[in-house]
Amino acid sequence: GENVEQHPSTLSVQEGDSAVIKCTYSDSASNYFPWYKQELGKGPQLIIDIRSNVGEKKDQRIAVTLNKTAKHFSLHITETQPEDSAVYFCAASVSGGGADGLTFGKGTHLIIQP
Amino acid sequence: DAGVTQSPTHLIKTRGQQVTLRCSPISGHKSVSWYQQVLGQGPQFIFQYYEKEERGRGNFPDRFSARQFPNYSSELNVNALLLGDSALYLCASSFGFGNAYEQYFGPGTRLTVT
């Protein structure tokens, strides 16, 4: 089955700087890559996703890039703010998010230093 | 608009007991997925249901079962609880089946097995 590796496990950045989280996946059939933000005591919140027919997607301060050849995708957060502090998860879906569900990475704890 | 709701919020059970967790999807969504999130890890896929039929199953023992009702709500049942079943159980809903549809998570049910 699919395997998703996520790095780093912890990332500390100064407020206003950029943060980058990287993920690799194993199954070349994966074609959907969402990113979730999880705050303490809450469920994961979908923040952005990308499909295999595009290489980059942006939404205000958040962007995701996908390299299908290398089988890796990344989350970029610019102009970080205190409210960006949370655990971020990448995920990959093989067949359609259904039969196999989403396969998640182990998460990155993002800490924004004031 | 109401998001995904789950009940109960917290639950404490004894090893060997049985537990039922409940989920109501976003209005209009017809698919529900269940995930288990162990502390410090990403969510792991258990089941997906669409139009009351099981469409996907993760690598979990037969002690885990689920069903979806005509109103698209769902229940997850776990029999013969083990200490290792202690986790946050997340429900996610989507409009349809397949990764053309984003999955939105509820706040989860925290299960503690003693």
pLDDT at A71: 95
Asked if residue B52 has pLDDT above 80, the reply is yes
A interface test, pick of B99, B104, B105, B109 with most A CB neighbours within 10 Å: B99
What's the distance, Cα to Cα, between the start and end of chain A in Å? 41
Which of B42, B56, B103 is closest, CB to CB, to A107? Answer: B42
pLDDT tens digits along A66-83: 999 999 999 999 999 999
Confidence of residue A84 (pLDDT cuts 50, 70, 90): very high
Is some CB atom of chain B closer than 8 A to the CB atom of A43? yes
Across the interface, whether the CB atoms of A98 and B45 are under 8 A apart is answered no
Give the pLDDT mean for A88-101: 78
Kindly provide the residue ranges of all beta strands, DSSP E only, lying in chain B, ordered along the sequence: 5-7, 10-13, 19-24, 31-37, 44-50, 53-57, 64-68, 74-78, 87-94, 104-105, 109-113
CB A10 within 8 A of CB A70: no
Residues in chain B: 114
Q: Which whole number is the average pLDDT over B77-88? A: 98
The whole-chain average pLDDT of chain B stands at 95
Contacts of A89 in chain B (CB under 8 A): 42-43
Chain-chain contact of B98 with A44 (C-beta, under 8 angstroms): no
pLDDT confidence of residue B101: 85
Q: Do A98 and B50 touch (CB under 8 A)?
A: yes
**Least confident span in A14-18, A28-32, A58-62:** A28-32
> In 10 A of CB B43, how many CB atoms?
29
Per-residue pLDDT at A20 exceeds 90: yes
Quick one: pLDDT at residue B97? 84
B48 contacts in A (CB within 8 Å)? 97-99, 101
Cβ of residue A112 closer than 8 Å to a chain B Cβ: no
Residue type, A58: K
Band the pLDDT of A99: cuts 50, 70, 90. low
- For chain A, positions 45-64, list CB contacts with chain B under 8 A: 45-46, 49, 51
CB within 8 Å: B90 and A43: yes
Question: What is the mean predicted confidence (pLDDT) over A32-45?
Answer: 95
Gyration radius of chain A over CA positions? 14
Q: Determine the pLDDT at residue B23.
A: 98
Q: Say whether pLDDT at A97 is over 70.
A: no
Percent above pLDDT 90 for chain B: 91
How close, in Å, is residue A79 to chain B by CA atoms?
26
Contact A105 B42 (CB under 8 A): yes
The mean-pLDDT minimum among A25-34, A87-96, B7-16, B33-42 falls in: A87-96
